[in-house]
Structure 1
Amino acid sequence: MQPESEIAAMHLRSFNRFQAAALHLCFSLLLALLVFCLFRFLWYPDGLFGVAAAGKLLLLVTGVDVVIGPLLTLVVFNPKKKNLPFDLAVIAVLQVSALAYGVQVMLDSRPIFLVGVTDRFELVMANELADADLAKATQPEFGQRSWTGPVLVGAKRPASSAARSQLLFDTLEGKSDLDRRPEYYVPYSEISADLLKRGTHLSHWGSVDHPEVKRALAYVRQRQLDPGQVLVLPLKTRLRFAALLIDPAAG
């Protein structure tokens, strides 16, 4: 009776190089789809995928992986080669290692907090807060990096004038501002009322002829919301500014 490894090798050699590359491409696409779903629906939920420009990095990571692996298989595959299983194993290890590295880079830059502060929201990424920063959080849920999308929090300025002055001087020196200081994080409900007062109604922007405004109005009307009630507040990320739509009735 032949060992399973020999049977697998014989089955592998029944393919030609184009069939092997096509099969490799199918597996690579499935793996890329799995990674996309994790990022799109778990780590970058709702509109954050586009706001954080995660799509470009994800396309680079998965695109290179999907192309290079099958291409290498197409080049090296020869059913007559004695070391064919070893060659394919090396390709698989290299491909998985490259994908794992890319995914790790994206995980390190995933959003972990959506911070409401003064008159805007700030999207804070995992690699923007050190462990020492998180250790200063006054509540346990604010002292860890979320794996299921950003946690909605508020940030309050310190009560004492000395602490406020120190925060100001730290910011002027280029250190982290209020939105990246977990020691000042509070439940969003504590600052939501004051924050919403700074928003403008979406209907105010109705006369502006801009694709993003039209998309926002269509989005709101599709959900049967009144543009005159929906508020707009700035959303700042590391790379760009965006607008956050808030239904005051839902908080």
Structure 2
Amino acid sequence: MSLLMPQPFVSLDHHTSGFDWRTRLRAASIHLALSAAVATVAGLLVFGVWYPYPYREISGGRELFLLVVSVDIVLGPMITFAVFNRAKPRGELRRDLAVVVLLQLAGLAYGLWTVHLARPVHMVFEYDRFRVVHQVEVPLELADQVPPGIDLAPLGGPTLLTLRPFRTTQEKTELTVAALQGLHLSARPDLWQSYEAGRAQVLAAAHPVAQLMSRFPQRTAEIEAALRKGGRQASAAAYLPLVARKSEPWTVLLDATTAEVIGYLPLDSF
């Protein structure tokens, strides 16, 4: 008879079951907002110091940073949503959330370290062009051959350098062969010298901007806009190609008298 008697009703709502969707969503949303704030601060460091314009474009800084941060921002709140449960003892809940935050910060730190190692450290005049050198491209075995007064990997953003002339024909041959095998001349600290020391060579290799306009008449307005931004007229400006991590070269605009860099263009001027 007892099997036929009415049984007491057992509530299966989300509060009793311990799975409160609204509370978990609120916790995950707060975590997401805090993660976005931390990512914004990290972005100021990456794009303001390590990858200033145009390096965020030509060195892949934007894509690398977004990959690292997006994964970190998404995973943290998702894990919070999974582990957050007010039915847990307060100490246990705090421990779980602390572990989530520590794991997320560790992932962000590792990602930023990777971005830091891949950052551009110098833009080097390589005899007939500019090339962006990234920290990971500089051989460790040549790190002790950096000339006095030049930092191997400056923290304040890329600096301008030039390459010294080859001392002998044999040196030129050996280093050219090494470059063909993947070690670019600009990545060799033993060839670096200050930008001032090679200023005359930069000016000798540069081409008049008027020539650039005649080669790319459809880009004349863009070239003129870059010159205005740099405070120069076309008659007082020159250009050289720029090679970086991405396959599409850019163009560096220079003052035709001082070799000062006055602008950049996403234009293949080879």
What TM-score bracket applies, with the shorter chain setting the length? 0.7 to 0.9
Question: CA-to-partner distance for each residue in 1:24-51, whole Å, 9 max, x for gaps?
Answer: 1111011101111101111112311111
Query: Is the alpha carbon distance of 1:180 and 1:32 closer, same or farther for their aligned partners in structure 2, counting shifts above 3 Å?
Result: same
Instruction: Tell me what 1:20 maps to.
Output: 27
Check if 1:236 corresponds to 2:265. no
1:86-165 superposed matches below 5 A? 86-142=95-151, 144-165=152-173
Instruction: Tell me what 2:15 maps to.
Output: none
Compute the displacement of 1:225 (Å): 2.0
Query: Is the alpha carbon distance of 1:71 and 1:177 closer, same or farther for their aligned partners in structure 2, counting shifts above 3 Å?
Result: closer
The secondary structure found in structure 2 opposite 1:105 is: helix
CA contact (8 A) 2:176 2:185 kept: no
TM-score by length of 1: 0.84
CA contact (8 A) 2:139 2:188 kept: no
Larger of the two Rg values belongs to structure:
2
CA contact (8 A) 1:111 1:150 kept: yes
Instruction: Tell me what 2:68 maps to.
Output: 61
Percent identity for Structure 1 against Structure 2? 27
The secondary structure found in structure 1 opposite 2:75 is: helix
RMSD value over aligned CA atoms? 2.2
Gaps of 5+ in 1: 1-14
Check if 1:168 corresponds to 2:169. no
Instruction: Tell me what 2:264 maps to.
Output: none
The match for 1:34 among 41, 52, 74 is: 41
Q: Counterparts of 1:67 and 1:185 in 2: how far apart (Å)? A: 42
Query: Is the alpha carbon distance of 1:68 and 1:233 closer, same or farther for their aligned partners in structure 2, counting shifts above 3 Å?
Result: same
Q: Counterparts of 1:100 and 1:62 in 2: how far apart (Å)? A: 10
Matched residue type, 1:162: Q
Q: Answer 1 or 2: higher relative contact order, Cα 8 Å, separation at least 6.
A: 1
CA contact (8 A) 1:138 1:182 kept: yes
TM-score by length of 2: 0.79
Question: CA-to-partner distance for each residue in 1:20-75, whole Å, 9 max, x for gaps?
Answer: 22211111011101111101111112311111111011111111111221122123
Q: Counterparts of 2:167 and 2:72 in 1: how far apart (Å)? A: 51
Tell me how many residue pairs correspond in the alignment. Answer: 234
Gaps of 5+ in 2: 1-21, 261-270
Query: Is the alpha carbon distance of 1:245 and 1:223 closer, same or farther for their aligned partners in structure 2, counting shifts above 3 Å?
Result: closer
1:77-88 superposed matches below 5 A? 77-82=84-89, 83-88=92-97
Q: Counterparts of 2:221 and 2:82 in 1: how far apart (Å)? A: 49
Q: Counterparts of 1:29 and 1:215 in 2: how far apart (Å)? A: 35
Compute the displacement of 1:206 (Å): 3.2
CA contact (8 A) 2:238 2:253 kept: yes
Q: Counterparts of 2:177 and 2:75 in 1: how far apart (Å)? A: 50
Question: CA-to-partner distance for each residue in 1:125-178, whole Å, 9 max, x for gaps?
Answer: 111113321212232424x21111112111023222332233234334x15242
The secondary structure found in structure 1 opposite 2:236 is: coil
The secondary structure found in structure 1 opposite 2:161 is: strand
Query: Is the alpha carbon distance of 1:215 and 1:156 closer, same or farther for their aligned partners in structure 2, counting shifts above 3 Å?
Result: same
CA contact (8 A) 1:221 1:227 kept: no
Compute the displacement of 1:238 (Å): 2.4
